[in-house]
């Protein structure tokens, strides 16, 4: 087995164990392989190990890799910060966007989504840790944003996403993920998606209801940002 295949088996075991502990069906927790900075060959290896959903943060890097993988039935998720001038390409080349945090971006994605590709799946990114430096809308702004986005054409509002402040304390991890779950429940919009949990904290996220865990390092190894595109 390749290292990526071994890592994938290990991550799937972690997801299964955390799901059992939480009394959840592991099939309700999707594994999103976060492949930023990794070459197309690494994604191909992950696909051979059975992974299908890939998350990318940098648009140009993703657009460079996608043609090399066009023979595979992959599902592409955009998970990075979004500048207005990138929305047209994101709307055309991705199946999901997890990182929408303002209405203007959602409106542009709705206008620019090619209708023949079907609705673009959207998660609203929420800042649940209150750090000024992190992206995501403020929890107080979420109800109005969610209502507005849910009414846009060519988009399907699926749920919420968060990247809480990193901490080793499982109780603090769970508290942040619980905040996202509670926010989702209070919206009353029939959302079915909570995108939360990464290599370090996926167990806590699954305990609080994650339906996508976004895992990079535990699948592909540490990242070398020296080779990454910044766009």
Residues found near ligand PLP in the complex (CB under 6 A): 34, 36, 57, 79, 163, 198-200, 214-218
Tell me which residue has its CB nearest to ligand PLP.
Answer: 216
Kindly state the smallest distance separating residue 166's Cβ from ligand PLP, in Å: 8
Cα–Cα separations (whole angstroms), residue 78 to 82, 144, 161, 170, 219 = 9, 23, 12, 27, 18
Q: Do 129 and 173 form a contact (C-beta atoms < 8 A)?
A: no
Q: Choose between 179 and 214: whose C-beta lies nearer to ligand PLP.
A: 214
Q: Choose between 55 and 157: whose C-beta lies nearer to ligand PLP.
A: 55
Q: Choose between 80 and 120: whose C-beta lies nearer to ligand PLP.
A: 80
The dihedrals phi and psi of 124, each to the nearest 5 degrees, come to -90, 125
User: Measured between alpha carbons, how far is 41 from 51 in angstroms, rounded to an integer?
Assistant: 13
Q: Choose between 34 and 47: whose C-beta lies nearer to ligand PLP.
A: 34
Kindly state the smallest distance separating residue 145's Cβ from ligand PLP, in Å: 19
Angle at 59 between CA 58 and CA 60, to 5 degrees: 100
Q: Do 95 and 75 form a contact (C-beta atoms < 8 A)?
A: yes
Q: Which residues contact 189 (CB under 8 A, 6 or more apart)?
A: 146, 147, 150, 157
Kindly state the smallest distance separating residue 199's Cβ from ligand PLP, in Å: 3
Question: What is the sign of the dihedral through the CA atoms of 231, 95, 194 and 213?
Answer: negative
- Tokens representing 36 are 């930023």
Q: Choose between 86 and 214: whose C-beta lies nearer to ligand PLP.
A: 214
Kindly state the smallest distance separating residue 34's Cβ from ligand PLP, in Å: 4
Kindly state the smallest distance separating residue 110's Cβ from ligand PLP, in Å: 22
């Amino acid at each position: 087995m390749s290292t990526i295949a071994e890592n994938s088996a290990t991550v799937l075991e972690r997801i299964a164990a955390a799901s059992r502990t939480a009394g959840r069906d592991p099939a309700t927790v999707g594994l999103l392989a976060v492949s930023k900075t990794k070459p197309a060959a690494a994604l191909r290896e992950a696909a051979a190990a059975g992974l299908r959903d890939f998350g990318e943060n940098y648009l140009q890097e993703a657009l460079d890799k996608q043609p090399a993988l066009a023979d595979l039935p992959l599902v592409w998720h955009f998970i990075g910060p979004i500048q207005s001038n990138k929305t047209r390409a994101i709307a055309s080349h991705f199946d999901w966007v997890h990182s929408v945090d303002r209405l203007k971006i959602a409106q542009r994605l709705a206008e620019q989504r090619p209708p023949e590709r079907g609705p673009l799946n959207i998660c609203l990114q929420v800042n649940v840790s209150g750090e000024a430096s992190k992206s995501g809308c403020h929890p107080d702004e979420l109800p109005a944003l969610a209502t507005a986005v849910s009414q846009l054409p060519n988009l399907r509002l699926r749920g919420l996403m968060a990247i809480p402040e990193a901490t080793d304390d499982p109780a603090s991890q769970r508290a942040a993920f619980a905040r996202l779950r509670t926010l989702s429940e209070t919206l009353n919009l029939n959302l079915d998606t909570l995108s939360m949990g990464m290599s370090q904290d996926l167990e806590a996220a699954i305990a609080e209801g994650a339906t996508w865990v976004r895992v990079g390092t535990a699948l592909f190894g540490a990242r070398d940002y020296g080779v990454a595109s910044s766009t």
